[in-house]
Copies of this chain bind each other. A is one copy, B any other.
Amino acid sequence: MADEATAQIRGPYRKGVERREQIIRSASDVFGELGYIGGSLRTIGDRVGASPATLIQYFGSKEGLLAAVLEDWTKQQSRSSLADDPPGLAYFRALITVTEFHVEHRGLLELFITMAAEATNPGHPARQFIQRRYDTVLAKCIGKLREAVDRGEVAPITDEQIAAEVRILIAVLDGVELQWLLGADIDLPAVVSRHLEQSIANWKTGRTLS
């Protein structure tokens, strides 16, 4: 939709839209590599031949640029998968496609992990975005696992157990992706898939401790 809309725009305005997108791409790379605090407007601008003043003109401030980068991240990430929103247990098996997407789009993953680590500082401008992202993903997974219980796909595990299982699952995804980004010699989708199947096996037999 967005691409079609862009294609219909002509002239100087369209050029501005393209320029804006170039800057967002550059900022995504730089924030992922150097962090938000360490990634300067100068560095971001240099990669696309724009001055810091031009960046401010487009985004108002460095925080404004960060907001655009995070919005873009959300858009890119949503292309990854799970668009079909599979029900219950199928949702967790489909999570493997997110990992595969990250292997193909390493920059998106690096940006998220770097922003999340920086946002452990309460004053960080991405903190609220990151917190909301975790809340959204947790709530989604909790809903899906509860659905799996209701559909009889897994044992009747309690809400408390569901919340704990989902939190650990998200920790595993973050943790192994971090190991992979750090150069661990692993087949990332295979590691994640193995863990997902193990978790599902535990859920099916109700082998979750509370």
- Interfacial residues, chain A to chain B (CB-CB below 8 A): 32-39, 110, 113-114, 116-122, 127, 130-131, 134, 164, 167-168, 170-176, 178-179, 181-184, 186, 191, 194-195, 197-198, 201-202, 207-210
Contact = CB atoms under 8 A, between A and B. Distances in A.
A206 to B, nearest CB: 12
A120 B178 contact: yes
Contacts of A208: 198
Contact of A168 (B134, B172, B181, B209): B172
Contacts of A110: 120-121
A176 B183 contact: no
A34 B33 contact: no
A127 to B, nearest CB: 7
A192 to B, nearest CB: 9
B167 A131 contact: no
A165 to B, nearest CB: 9
Which 9 pairs of residues, A with B, have the shortest CB-CB distance? A171-B175, A37-B38, A117-B117, A120-B181, A38-B38, A175-B175, A174-B175, A35-B35, A171-B176
Contact of A116 (B34, B182, B210): B182
A191 B163 CA distance: 11
Interface centre among A117, A167, A191, A209 (most CB of B within 10 A): A117
A34 B119 CA distance: 9
A120 B53 CA distance: 30
A34 B209 contact: no
Contacts of A183: 122, 127, 131
Given A197-B209, A209-B198, A170 B175 contact: yes
Given A37-B37, A119-B182, A120-B178, 5 more contacts: A32-B121, A120-B182, A174-B174, A198-B202, A201-B209
A39 B37 CA distance: 8
Contact of A182 (B130, B201, B210): B130
